[in-house]
């Protein structure tokens, strides 16, 4: 699919103060309204999401996402604005160029979700991103979580946000970041302050509260096959590929049994000294990386051989590249790439953050929500 428009809405990230023993949510607002004039319009399938599950912990201390069940029932209701999704990818020299309008190819919820604390409709937001064909591993990016970086881009035309912009500050000044998926169900319980309903649909995604930039906080289930299969699903900011839930047992040879790799994070034991309450997964800081606990490393990735074939939307040719590392989207914390093994391209830096210069390609800008 080719891009329908080159308009890039200018977004201004809100500056939120973090108050002692209080909570804030980092959001963004637009200083330009989205104009869909000249774009392809049409009916967009939507879905209804229904929370039906309970919080369940695994024996290793991981949170079982699948225990929280969302049902997607396709309807014919339109989503405003009714704009066709757009994703274009091509290679020039040593760089992969990606353009998209933040609208996915799969059915989504009918936004705004009435029960959400961040009610928002959905609209297009143009992005111009780029990643190196050969990732630069001369340094790493330690933290992909908001507000500095986008966590990656999915091949259907929407970005990844590796966390939400909500924080709680304890009396001693320590800052605790909300865990954006299941953690929001726990915040507000004994010892947890604040919390929001982020209004996620069945693909663990939502738009910003400005009504644009639909983005993923978890596995986009609608893009995965119904049976286990190796699925290249997107690109990380350093140029390494991102895969869906499944991997080959023999990663080096790209062969063997297909299985669901486990992350290597577990809940800490005991209680939070500064904030109070047990380490129950409400906050990112409730977890710790335990080397060797699972199959994936601290960035939610794995070394191996990864042969990726993509279609160049300019030449129409299929191009193939081989990588020695890949990230995974998982049903366990941290769910998405949480750090990078290589250098992040500045086009993934959020405008106005300390993550980088923005490179003029961060598109919609604005702090991830």
Q: What is the pLDDT of residue 186?
A: 53
Mean pLDDT of 88-98: 95
- How do residues 24-36 score in pLDDT, each as one tens digit? 222 233 333 333 2
Range from 79-83, 114-118, 199-203, 344-348 carrying the lowest mean pLDDT:
79-83
Q: What is the pLDDT of residue 117?
A: 66
Decide if pLDDT at 77 tops 60.
no
Mean pLDDT of 315-319: 92
Q: What is the pLDDT of residue 209?
A: 73
- How do residues 239-272 score in pLDDT, each as one tens digit? 999 999 999 999 999 999 999 999 999 989 999 9
Range from 63-72, 151-160, 234-243, 345-354 carrying the lowest mean pLDDT:
63-72
- How do residues 154-179 score in pLDDT, each as one tens digit? 998 899 988 766 788 888 999 888 87
Q: What is the pLDDT of residue 91?
A: 94
Confidence of residue 70 (pLDDT cuts 50, 70, 90): very low
Confidence of residue 118 (pLDDT cuts 50, 70, 90): low
Confidence of residue 196 (pLDDT cuts 50, 70, 90): low
What is the 3-class SS of the chain, one letter each residue?
CCCCCCCCCCEEECCCCCCECCEEECCEEECCCCCCCCCCECCCCEEECCECCCCCECCCCCECHHHCCECCEEECCCCCCCECCCEEEEEECCEEEEEECCCCCCCEECCCCCCCCCCCCCCCCCEEEEEECCCCCCCCECCCCCCCECCEEECCCEEECCCCCEEEECCCCCEEEECCCCHHHHCCCCCCCCCCCCCCCCCCEECCCCCCCCEECCCCHHHCCCCCCCCEEEECCCCCEEECCCEEEECCCCEEEEECCCCCEEECCCECCCCCCECCCCEHHHEEECCCCCCCCCCCEEEEEEEEEEECCCCCCEEEEEEEEEEECCCCCCCCCCCECCCCCHHHECCCCCCCCCCCCCCCCCCCC
* Selected residue with higher pLDDT from 358 and 344: 344
């Amino acid at each position: 699919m080719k891009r329908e428009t080159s308009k890039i809405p200018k977004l201004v990230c809100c500056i939120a103060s973090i108050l002692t023993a209080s909570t804030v949510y980092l959001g963004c607002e637009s200083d330009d309204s989205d104009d869909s004039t000249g774009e392809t319009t049409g009916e967009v399938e939507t879905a209804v999401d229904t929370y039906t599950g309970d919080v369940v912990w695994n024996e290793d201390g991981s949170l079982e996402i699948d225990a929280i069940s969302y049902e997607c029932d396709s309807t014919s209701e339109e989503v405003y604005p009714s704009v066709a999704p757009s994703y274009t990818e091509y290679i020039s020299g040593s760089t992969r160029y990606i353009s998209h309008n933040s609208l996915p190819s799969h059915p989504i919820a009918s936004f705004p979700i009435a029960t959400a604390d961040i009610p928002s409709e959905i609209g297009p937001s143009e992005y111009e991103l780029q990643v190196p064909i050969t990732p630069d591993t001369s340094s790493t990016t330690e933290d992909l979580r908001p507000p500095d970086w986008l966590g990656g881009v999915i091949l259907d035309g929407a970005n990844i946000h590796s966390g939400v912009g909500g924080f709680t500050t304890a009396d001693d000044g320590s800052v605790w970041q909300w865990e954006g998926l299941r953690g929001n169900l726990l915040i507000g319980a004994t010892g947890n302050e604040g919390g929001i309903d982020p209004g996620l649909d069945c693909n663990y995604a939502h738009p910003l509260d400005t009504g644009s930039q639909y983005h993923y906080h978890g596995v986009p289930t609608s893009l995965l096959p119904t049976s286990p299969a190796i699925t290249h699903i997107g690109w990380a900011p350093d140029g390494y590929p991102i895969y869906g839930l499944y991997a080959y047992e023999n990663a080096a040879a790209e062969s063997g049994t297909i299985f669901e790799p486990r992350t290597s994070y577990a809940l800490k034991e005991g209680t939070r000294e500064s904030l109070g309450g047990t380490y129950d997964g409400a906050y990112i800081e409730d977890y710790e990386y335990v080397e060797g606990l699972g199959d994936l490393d601290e960035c939610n990735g794995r070394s191996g051989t990864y042969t990726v074939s993509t279609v160049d939307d300019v030449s129409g040719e299929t191009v193939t590249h081989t990588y020695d590392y890949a990230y995974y989207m998982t049903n366990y914390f941290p769910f998405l790439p949480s750090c990078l093994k290589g250098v992040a391209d500045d086009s993934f830096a959020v405008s106005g953050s300390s993550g980088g210069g923005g490179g003029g390609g961060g598109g919609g800008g604005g702090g991830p929500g």
